[in-house]
Structure 1
Amino acid sequence: MQTRRRKTTAVRARGAPRRRLASLPQRPAIRIPVERILAERRWIAALVTAGGIPPSDREDVMQAVIMAAWRAVEEGRYRPDAAVDPRRALRGWLHSIVWRTVGHHRNRAWVRREIPVADPWSAQQEPPRVDERVIEARERLLAVRVALSRLKQLDQEVLALCAVGHDIRAIARTLGMPSSTAVRQIGRARRKLRILLRR
């Protein structure tokens, strides 16, 4: 029984050059002064805090983010969209650097350390100082403000009314919606806020 070999023109001949897809035009690189990156230090600190970095390591992670961003600018890898607001474009670019740096930091072996002691029940963690608690509270508050700024206007209004102690009926009356709708809106706004704070 003879077999007939199937012919096809879709198979690329061995050694033939590959077809390259037309690449999109690349935006020009922009050199910005390091002061523009340092001006976003508090915003970077809020993202680092939201990333779950402990207070003892936050300063090191922030320095790593700033150095990585400045190195990328020097190497011509900062190519923002000219149609976007300059500060918004810079923050969007820094956002990816922060989360990449936070992820690398949390996955390092020396971060996941354990300190063996002879008597584990006798080991007590040193209580944080008052100034450390104040700094941590401020950074956490800034992280909440950053997360709230990313919510829609209606979600912000709902959470603000809940924060000042209004009940469901008062919130529904203020926003002009049924009480059942207000309950669902509050639940959605709280879930969105929790998701943003866990990032």
Structure 2
Amino acid sequence: MLDIDSIARHTATIDDVLRRWRIPSRDRADIVQEVLLGAWRSMRAGRFQPRPGVPDAVALKRWIVGISWRHASHYATRAHRRYEVLVPSAGRLCQDHAPAPLEQVEARRALDDLRRVDPRFRAVLALTAQGYTIAEIAAEIGHNPNTVWNRLRLGRLWFRRVRRRWRRLARARREHHPRR
């Protein structure tokens, strides 16, 4: 009896057919999954019926090549209709309030600055930002609440220093290279 494992053994064959159809590698894995799923569903529905005298393994391989070929041809006919819709601002896709572009840039810079903070302090800052209490964080990371409190204090201090340093550098750049 043939099962999903016997179909899955032909993944390399499916990939070879898709490669011959010059399907981009970024889409190949998705189509391989579609072929495997389609073959499995067809087999369960009873559509796989090998010819008499042909071994099941050979018949299955031919059948899967046919399914792969069909999926590849459908991909090729759909490919010319694919297009991307460019959105000027991702904020327009949000139902809620979207921050202004300058606020988005500032948030990205703050995240970059946060990456410069010592990892021990950064973990406590991140958990605090998610709404965890000092006691919950202490239980999570297995430290004394006083240690967590101290790391939070030092992390905030370190983050403030990094932000202040960045602002100073940005101000110096603006003064040195004024807009024209």
**Shorter-chain TM-score category?**
0.3 to 0.5
TM-score by length of 2: 0.44
Q: What TM-score do you get using the length of structure 1 for normalisation?
A: 0.40
Per residue, is there more helix in 1 or in 2? 2
Max Rg structure: 2
